[in-house]
Amino acid sequence: MTAPGKVIEAVKSARSVFITTHVVPDGDAIGSLLGMKLALERLGKQCEAGLSDPVPPSLRFLPGSDGIRSGECGSVGRYDLALVLDCGSLDRVGQCAAKVESCPVSVNIDHHSTNTRFAAINWVDTEAAATCQLVAELIAVMGVAYDSDIATCLFAGLSTDTGSFRYSNTRASTFRIAAELADAGARPWEIAQNVYDSRPYNSLAALAEAILGIEFSCDRLIASMVITAADMARHGITEGDTEGFIGYARSIDGVEVAVALREVGPETIRVGLRSKQCVDVASVASEFGGGGHVRASGCTIQGTMDEARSKLMPSLERALREAGYTWTA
């Protein structure tokens, strides 16, 4: 039986389902979680959605987002099935890992190349543009027609994980699914307005400061931005409000690799990595226990900001050389 077939069989057999995704969730994580939850509830399943971290402000417009439990995942042992979406490894689930492990059956649906196949049933398709694409395909096969709420959630994830259909993971199949979701009631302009055009002023002020503080290395092939805990406190923002900052560093002409270092705890630095054309940043992230995509990955490094940067830079330089880049010392 194929992996999608095993997933469908597990879902059909379960009465109750716990659904979760990775820490610091992005559009694909929240969109796939909500789209799946809404579809399973249409099938009569008892569902609970839990997250280690809060839903980012820019995604709270999504239907059903107010029903997600965040910060704690409830008691263990209550559900027949755990669905883990858009998550490369169990530790990336954060506080919800124990609840996933307490379920008799676990399913892992993802599109990251660094996925560790940690569940009892694993459907990992690295050719998919987003986990929302896989969830959309699964919902259709299960016979659930997209309504406007499901379509909105899935379109949001598909759009954000492809950079509004600008990234190299965008294929003809991506547009076909996007068109189906739009036909079902997703409103692309409204989703874009909420995700991209509704930032609070203090988030933009923090972004401006981060851009002005960008440091270049390797003949401007690498652009690094730093967001400290003090920066976030001063501007009154959370880590979720910094989502997308790294894209501005990546957009600079001549930059191949963008790095965002966020201080999320005492000597705990969350690292975002993005590349434009050739550099495999997933391999760099995996050296530090992280993962993701070839062009978009992340990891967490223990230490001060300076220590994290000094640990990271040799790996980035090696990845640049392996991709054929050279620079003067």
Single residue among 171, 196, 221 that ends a domain in this structure: 196
Band the pLDDT of 74: cuts 50, 70, 90: low
Single residue among 147, 166, 196 that ends a domain in this structure: 196
Which are the contacts of 204, defined by CB distance < 8 A and separation ≥ 6? none
Q: What is the pLDDT of residues 56-67, one digit of tens each?
A: 889 999 999 999
Task: For residues 65-92, give the mean pLDDT.
Answer: 85
**Summary mean pLDDT of the chain:** 93
Single residue among 196, 222, 254 that ends a domain in this structure: 196
Which domain does 167 fall in, by range? Answer: 3-196
The predicted pLDDT at position 72 comes to 66
Distance CA 134, CA 28 (A): 11
Domain contains 329: no
Distance CA 274, CA 264 (A): 19
Distance CA 175, CA 102 (A): 38
Is the pTM value of this prediction over 0.85?
Answer: yes
Q: What is the pLDDT of residues 7-39, one digit of tens each?
A: 999 999 999 999 999 988 999 999 999 999 999
Read off the CATH number of the domain in which 295 is found. Answer: 3.10.310.30
Read off the CATH number of the domain in which 81 is found. Answer: 3.90.1640.10
Q: What is the pLDDT of residues 220-246, one digit of tens each?
A: 999 999 999 999 999 999 888 898 899
Same domain, 107 and 239: no
Band the pLDDT of 93: cuts 50, 70, 90: very high
Per-residue pLDDT at 76 exceeds 70: no
Q: Count of domains in the chain?
A: 2
Percentage of the chain exceeding pLDDT 90: 81
Band the pLDDT of 294: cuts 50, 70, 90: confident
Quick one: three-class SS letters along the chain? CCHHHHHHHHHHHCCEEEEEECCCCCHHHHHHHHHHHHHHHHCCCEEEEEECCCCCHHHCCCCCHHHCEECCCCCCCCCCEEEEECCCCHHHHHHHHHHHHHCCEEEEEECCCCCCCCCCEEEECCCCCCHHHHHHHHHHHCCCCCCHHHHHHHHHHHHHHCCCCCCCCCCHHHHHHHHHHHHCCCCHHHHHHHHHCCCCHHHHHHHHHHHHCCEEECCCCEEEEEECHHHHHHHCCCHHHHCCHHHHHHCCCCCCEEEEEEEEECCEEEEEEEECCCCCHHHHHHHCCCEECCCEEEEEEECCHHHHHHHHHHHHHHHHHHCCCCCCC
Same domain, 124 and 233: no
Same domain, 217 and 164: no
Same domain, 188 and 212: no
Domain contains 30: yes
Task: For residues 62-88, give the mean pLDDT.
Answer: 86
Task: For residues 170-193, give the mean pLDDT.
Answer: 96
The predicted pLDDT at position 43 comes to 96
Band the pLDDT of 75: cuts 50, 70, 90: low
Identify the residue whose tokens are 């501005």. 248
Band the pLDDT of 162: cuts 50, 70, 90: very high
Same domain, 122 and 239: no
Percentage of the chain exceeding pLDDT 70: 98
